[in-house]
Amino acid sequence: MIFTVQIKVMPLKDLLDPQGKAVMGGLQNLGLNNVSDVRIGKHIDLQIEAADKEAAKSAGEEAAKKLLANPVMEVFEVTIL
């Protein structure tokens, strides 16, 4: 069975996010002054063939650990649809 696995990779809370800071400046220049913080990360959708949800989730976690997220700077979250 094929599962859709979503992986969200975000910069760690303690680290600066210069891309987010730049976007916040841009939004304020566009008149959206009620935005107080912006963090930007990656969203990855995988189609994974697996026997069940658990197996799909562990394959997604393996993918995130091995390739998609850098544990020094990023934290990831895996969800199955």
1 binds a second copy (CB under 8 A): no
For residues 5 and 8, what is the distance between their CA atoms, to the nearest angstrom? 10
**Phi then psi for 54, rounded to 5 degrees?**
-60, -45
> By CB under 8 A, is residue 63 in contact with a second copy?
yes
Q: Which residues pair with 4 in a beta bridge?
A: 47
CB-wise, 41 or 80, nearer to a second copy?
41
Task: For the CB of residue 72, give the shortest distance to a second copy in the complex, in Å.
Answer: 19
User: Given candidates 27, 74, 75, 80, which one binds a second copy under the rule CB under 8 A?
Assistant: 27
**Counting contacts by CB under 8 A, is residue 10 touching a second copy?**
yes
14: helix, strand or coil: coil
